[in-house]
Amino acid sequence: MHKKVTFLLTETFHMFNYNLKVEFYLYIITTDYLVKKIFIKLIEVNCMYNYMLNKTNNISSQEAIELLKNLVCIKSDFFHEEKIMKFTYEWLKNNNLNIEFHNYEDKKITGFKGINLIGSLEGSKQGPVILINCHLDTVNECSGWTKHPYNPVIENGRLYGLGALDMKSGCAAALMALKKFNETIKEFKGKIIYSFVSDEEGPYGLGTSFSIKDKLYKDADIAIILEPSSGFLFTQKQSICLGARGGYQYKIKLYGKSSHAATPQNGINAIEDASKLIVELSKLPAAYDEKLGNSSICITDIKSKGNGCSVPDYAEIEIFKHIVMGENKQSIIEEIKLAAINANIKSKYEIVFREDPLDGSGGFMPYTVDEKNKYIKEFYDCVEDITGKSPEINYFSSIGDFNTISEKLNIPVIVYGPSGSNFHSYDEYVEIDTFLEVSEVLYGYLVKKLT
């Protein structure tokens, strides 16, 4: 008869990249004959190890994790991507994948000279053209990190580091899937375009916008973006994202009339009018979309020029508005006009949309993809087959390169990526098993679709 009497200790061993967490128990074999035996209960093995035991793997876990670590080690906040582009270029070259630098320059607003990477694999027969889009830049380092942001560590199946989730894991997953495809599939139809861009996290998404402008994504039938869909949506489940709200940033400039502060009735107070306008804007009903939810408005800044004992004759409101299907730049203008009438403001006003480096649209349009689209159904089935789990279909509340690709190329856009947390914050991490699954799914989808 076995009877557990006491718990001794828990210990974690680090072996290779695996965390082996074991519990030691003291067991008594019989009650009168005391034979003490240490029993080891394996309570946790790094989930990637489980993954290796349970799945038929096409992607080498060890190599994928090493690659991800190497990417995280290279600091690549937006506008500073040269080093990571060179590293990724070399990696692709060394793995016999064709790749070129794509240089661009935003002469209009930022003056930024950026670098993207672009490559393709072309089959011998006509077939679908699949675009894979990933960004290699990250946000800037914020305060509060308890791990090193550029020296990745693995703990409990999570890899920590700046960009580990958003989205160097997606980049590494794509690179590994492309390498495997190139090594194993010799005859195929169609084409894979792979694009590793800069400045997705910056204010304008220049990398992808210039790739589109320079026609690098020409003829693409579908785009797959390996942004961390599960991570962004705070879910542990597999998640395919089929749309996102759009967004516009703009200012409303109000011009009043100055007068002595003792006789405000003789002036037009621009600050008071701005306040009334904000109140009326917030009272307007939000637009609603079945998939994307409600639109929302956020006042992000307010400025004026105070002038001593005078009525202020100038005020400026800055707004970021997230929009849903059916809304656009014109509908934003209309609602400001309506709010101005409701507020009964006396100031003159003008609406100034944020300038755009390329086409002057100044914003991001919302989009949704039809779930019944054949590419979507096939991708969904692939996720299900390979991971053994039914993915959720979700929608993002904010903007990214996916909006730009959907709007400019007018093709279905799938966002599918790993889980994890703390993106755009400290102690960002990716769940390693989900990162490996993403790579497997992408490889599986490419094989299924192109062979």
* Residues making contact with Zn ion (CB under 5 A): 166-167, 227
Query: Please, what is the minimum distance in Å from the beta carbon of residue 137 to Zn ion?
Result: 9
How buried is 189 (Cβ within 10 angstroms: 0-12 exposed, 13-18 middle, 19+ buried)? Answer: middle
Query: Please, what is the minimum distance in Å from the beta carbon of residue 170 to Zn ion?
Result: 8
What residue is closest to Zn ion based on CB? 166
Maximum distance among all Cα pairs of the chain, rounded to whole angstroms = 102
Q: Which is nearer to Zn ion, 166 or 313 (CB)?
A: 166
Task: For residue 2, list its beta bridge partners.
Answer: none
3-class secondary structure, 341: helix
Query: Please, what is the minimum distance in Å from the beta carbon of residue 139 to Zn ion?
Result: 9
Query: Please, what is the minimum distance in Å from the beta carbon of residue 413 to Zn ion?
Result: 14
For residue 207, the surrounding DSSP H or E stretch is helix 206-213
CA angle 338, 344, 350 (to 5 degrees): 60
Query: Please, what is the minimum distance in Å from the beta carbon of residue 138 to Zn ion?
Result: 8
In contact, 238 and 390? CB cutoff 8 Å: yes
Q: Which is nearer to Zn ion, 106 or 166 (CB)?
A: 166
**Residue 167: is the preceding peptide bond cis (ω within 30°)?**
yes
In contact, 252 and 336? CB cutoff 8 Å: yes
Query: Please, what is the minimum distance in Å from the beta carbon of residue 166 to Zn ion?
Result: 4
In contact, 181 and 58? CB cutoff 8 Å: no
Contacts of 328 (CB under 8 A, 6+ apart): 365
In contact, 410 and 258? CB cutoff 8 Å: no
Q: Which is nearer to Zn ion, 136 or 252 (CB)?
A: 136
Query: Please, what is the minimum distance in Å from the beta carbon of residue 353 to Zn ion?
Result: 24
Q: Which is nearer to Zn ion, 315 or 413 (CB)?
A: 413
In contact, 255 and 313? CB cutoff 8 Å: yes
Q: Which is nearer to Zn ion, 128 or 231 (CB)?
A: 231
Q: Which is nearer to Zn ion, 227 or 431 (CB)?
A: 227
Contacts of 391 (CB under 8 A, 6+ apart): 237, 238, 239, 240, 380, 383, 384, 416
With tokens 């935003």, the residue in question is: 106
Q: Which is nearer to Zn ion, 166 or 437 (CB)?
A: 166
CA dist., res. 410 & res. 39, Å (int): 61
Q: Which is nearer to Zn ion, 199 or 227 (CB)?
A: 227
CA dist., res. 54 & res. 68, Å (int): 22
Query: Please, what is the minimum distance in Å from the beta carbon of residue 365 to Zn ion?
Result: 18
Decide the pairing of beta strands 413-416 and 222-225.
Answer: parallel
Q: Which is nearer to Zn ion, 19 or 208 (CB)?
A: 208
- DSSP structure class, residue 167: I
Query: Please, what is the minimum distance in Å from the beta carbon of residue 163 to Zn ion?
Result: 9
Q: Which is nearer to Zn ion, 227 or 289 (CB)?
A: 227
How buried is 11 (Cβ within 10 angstroms: 0-12 exposed, 13-18 middle, 19+ buried)? Answer: exposed
Query: Please, what is the minimum distance in Å from the beta carbon of residue 133 to Zn ion?
Result: 11
